Amino acid sequence: MPIELSREEHKELASEYVNDNFASQSMIADVAFHYNENNPHIHIMFTMRDISPEGFLNKNRSWNDRNNMEGWRESWALKVNEFLEKAKVNEKIDHKSFERQGKDPLPQKSWGSMFSYREKGN
């Protein structure tokens, strides 16, 4: 979660993201917030079994399709950027890896902010 946002904004962001990407498709999701020092983050856990009037059925493996991941990552970046813009934070995130963005960051001891990185030569 962006450290530039409040806990209330984190909850709103997570709720909208989960609703847009999972609950709207009948996926049951449980969101756990962790507020570690300089590392607020969430864990999203899903019920992978289909449910019928008789109870739980077999696991629905279609959610495991790796092709879903790119769309979920892009949706997360768009939702985070929307919240950052509303909060008047002049930063954006990108769902693509640094390599795919053409960036070559140097490793750092601590990120501090999810937006911090140093490119070689800087």
Q: Give the predicted TM-score (pTM) of the model.
A: 0.77
Q: Is 88 left (phi over 0), alpha (psi -120 to 50) or beta?
A: left
Domains and CATH numbers, the chain: 7-101 (3.30.930.30)
Q: Is there a contact between 44 and 55 (Cβ–Cβ < 8 Å)? A: no
pLDDT, one tens digit per residue, over 24-64 is 988 889 999 999 878 899 999 998 888 899 998 999 888 88
Which residues are registered as beta bridge partners of 41?
34
Task: Examine the pLDDT at 119 and tell me if it is beyond 60.
Answer: no
State residue 31 phi and psi, 5-degree precision.
-110, 125
Residue 109: predicted pLDDT? 56
Residue 51: predicted pLDDT? 86
